[in-house]
Amino acid sequence: MSRRLKKNVSWEGKGLHSGSECRVTLSPYKEFSLSLNGICTSIKELRFEGSSRGSDLITPDGSKVRTVEHLMSAIGGLGLWETNIEVEGVEFPAIDGCSETFSRTLFASSEECEAVKPLELYSPIYCQGAGGAFISAVPSEKLSITYVIKYQNDLIGTMLYDYNDADCELYINEISRARTFALEKDIEQLLRNGMALGGSLDNAILVGESEIMTNGSLRYRDEFVRHKVLDLIGDLALVGMPVCARITAIRAGHIPHLQLIEKLRRLS
């Protein structure tokens, strides 16, 4: 599944963590790349780093673009592998706290094209992290993901979701609408660390000990684990091409995701 943009598409708004104004413009290009400060670099050649709160890209001159996973998820979920992302600012705009707006606009602005050759695995890859985090990728004819989360907060608890990459409609309707979330008990510390400055109940779900706070209700009973799948699809896009693998993630997050991406990149 691959698509190609027919025209430029732009968004602007506050970054989820920095709270600063930023803008991104996607345009048709010969490869999957990012432009910042006048320098265009292939996604495959960019360095990356992550924390429990997001994934960042680092350009050749040392500049950092924060919280790239939601837009990257839309790109990976739709198969827009011949796209340049031009960035103005330090972060991708948060928009709706998921990838629905990105995905629906990009789908309407693109068309099907010849499939890009995927990365294929010939042996399993495993990564383990702190707190029982585990992620693996084994050879498969297409991308599929099984994701398990477990939180001490009873309003989230343990959730499992199976995703099988089939078509854009499935991604848009079942994954792209799942919003980012945070525990209420963590907010004060996040703000002290200069994070979540652009977050609000319009673009995130806040989970307290006894209630879930957001504008509107949950979009899915298991919205929390679906958002983790969204994040993983965005992090997988940092490989720079489609990935054919059966991925299992247990209590993972951006750090284990990126450990896996590092190993996958070595195979590309």
Catalytic residues: 254
The answer to whether 2 and 81 are in contact (CB under 8 A) is: yes
**Maximum Cα interatomic distance, the chain, rounded to a whole number of Å:** 50
Q: Which residues pair with 255 in a beta bridge?
A: none
| CA-to-CA separations, 252 to 8, 52, 212, 221, 231, in angstroms, rounded | 34, 9, 22, 20, 11
d(CA 62, CA 75): 24
CA distance 165 to 92: 25
Residue where the block lists tokens 């265009």: 40
Secondary structure class of 190 (helix, strand, coil) = helix
**Alpha-carbon distance 153 to 191, whole Å?**
21
